[in-house]
Amino acid sequence: MLRRIFAIVFIFACTSAAWAVLGATIFARSESLGSGLKARVASTWGSAQVQTPPSAAYERDTTELVERTVDGKKILESATRSKQYPLPLEKSDVSVAFDLEHRQKGLLWYSTYKVDFSGTYVFHNTSGQDETVQVQIKFPAERAVYDDYKVLVGGSPVEVRSTDSCVSVEAKVAAGRAFTCTVAYKSQGLDSWTYRFGTEVTQVKDFALQMRTNFDDIDFPENTLSPTEKRPVAGGWELGWRYRNLLSGYDIGMIMPQKLQPGPLAGQISLFAPVSLFFFFFLMFTITTLRDIELHPMNYFFLAAAFFSFHLLLAYLVDHVSIHLAFAICSLVSILLVVSYLRLVVGMRFAAVEAGISQFIYLVLFSYAFFFKGFTGLAVTIGSILTLFVVMQMTGRIRWA
């Protein structure tokens, strides 16, 4: 009996080591390919976007005294320089809508989205005279695609000049008058979207931002403002931020929900597999001992190999089909291997009932608990307690002495 137990423990230890190698391999594949694939996704789709309000300023030529050194002597000379004077932003009315479209590359899903942005801003000419105002609008991402890009000043389209980082327009504004600037475009991004008031603590007057999502799982980045209004709509949420006179160093943002990542999930299931096999071996050993059924260590070896086939197939199948379909296929394959084998060793009833149900519980259900983030530990704990209860009831009348 002791030699058989030692052999089973040795088989369990070797299989656990194989699972550790498999899990490490899956995580290494995910990490090594993940950074490169993310860069490829960003290059073809777009990166995370950070939208800032436009800035408006006028230029004035000013004469200043400049110190120069001539023949070792310092002299003062007058020089004319152009100086910019920013105009205050009096009002902001922003609207943004997201259309989330996940994309899979290799073992990972990426949260790509389409964004429909529109913002109307009101500036006030406080210079006391007519000015030619330069309005500068920064792009939300260095490399992105902007479709149907529009800039309106006073409700009329204007000619724009663009560089790699921004768009600029000119507007003639009368003294003491306000003017509106509207920016609208459709673009694409990755992972998150942020509306940034400024790099430091900034005063924002008469601000309103309306955000609409086509997903329910909303989440906000750290150090961002929570919405002041929130209501569910068909397929998502409608969120609002409204402030009369805000003084804050925080931004407004949205993190796109993540899908279950096939690579990391398969790696976690593989590293957890020894727990499933331990419960299965423990129950099989208890049942066969009570019923005087002889299972040779080689039988346990083939059972361990059938368990391992589940995780090995899952590791390389998730590249090609959805994680749920891959999980179902691997479960059927592994259970079929165990039941068809024990049918020959012991009999059909034992293979289908005791072994089949045990494998379904400890391999399939325990592994499927990883699909429910935050409940995996609780599910395994409940399963362990129920197993303990069953074994205690089965062995309660045994006189161990």
Residue 195: its pLDDT value, please?
A: 93
| Range 55-72 average pLDDT | 73
Residue 213: its pLDDT value, please?
A: 93
Contact 251, 196 (CB under 8 A): yes
Under the banding of pLDDT at 50, 70 and 90, the label for residue 249 is: confident
Nearest to 228 by CA among 217, 214, 244, 216: 244
Contact 168, 159 (CB under 8 A): no
Under the banding of pLDDT at 50, 70 and 90, the label for residue 277 is: very high
Domains annotated on the chain, with CATH? 2-37+260-395 (no CATH), 47-61+81-255 (2.60.40.3680)
Spatial separation of the C-alpha atoms in residues 191 and 219, rounded to whole Å: 11
Question: CA distances (Å), 26 to each of 13, 106, 365, 368, 391, in order?
Answer: 20, 11, 21, 18, 35
pLDDT over 60 (residue 227): yes
Residue 77: its pLDDT value, please?
A: 67
pLDDT over 90 (residue 307): yes
Residue 368 Rama label (left phi>0; alpha psi -120 to 50; beta): alpha
What are the residues whose beta carbons fall under 8 Å from the beta carbon of 368, sequence distance 6 or more? 327
69 membership: H or E segment, kind and range: strand 55-70
Highest mean predicted confidence (pLDDT) among 123-127, 180-184, 318-322 = 180-184
Strands 73-86 and 89-105 come out as: unpaired
pLDDT over 70 (residue 79): no
Average pLDDT, the chain: 86
Residue 327: its pLDDT value, please?
A: 92
Partners of residue 89 on adjacent β-strands: 123
Nearest to 276 by CA among 302, 227, 311, 314: 311
pLDDT in tens, 338-397: 999 999 999 999 999 989 999 999 999 989 988 887 788 888 888 888 888 888 888 887
Residue 37: its pLDDT value, please?
A: 66
Read out DSSP for 8-67? HHHHHHHHHHHHHHHHHHHHHHHHHHHHHHHHHHHHHT---EEE---EEEEEEEEEEEEE
Q: Of 12-21, 41-50, 52-61, 349-358, which range is least confident? A: 41-50
Q: Of 55-69, 95-109, 216-230, 258-272, which range is least confident? A: 55-69
Nearest to 119 by CA among 179, 212, 178, 182: 182
Residue 36: its pLDDT value, please?
A: 61
pLDDT in tens, 148-157: 888 888 888 8
Under the banding of pLDDT at 50, 70 and 90, the label for residue 118 is: very high
Residue 302: its pLDDT value, please?
A: 94
Helix, strand, or coil here: 150?
strand
pLDDT over 80 (residue 296): yes
Residue 356: its pLDDT value, please?
A: 92
Q: Which amino acid is at 148?
A: D
Share of the chain above pLDDT 70, in %: 93
Under the banding of pLDDT at 50, 70 and 90, the label for residue 337 is: very high
pTM equals 0.72
| Range 9-16 average pLDDT | 92
Q: Which amino acid is at 79?
A: A
| Range 314-320 average pLDDT | 85
Strands of 213-261 (E only): list them: 229-233, 236-248, 252-255
Rounded to 5 degrees, φ, ψ at 27 are: -65, -40
Measured N-to-C along each axis, helices 323-345 and 297-317 cross at an angle, to the nearest 10 degrees, of 160
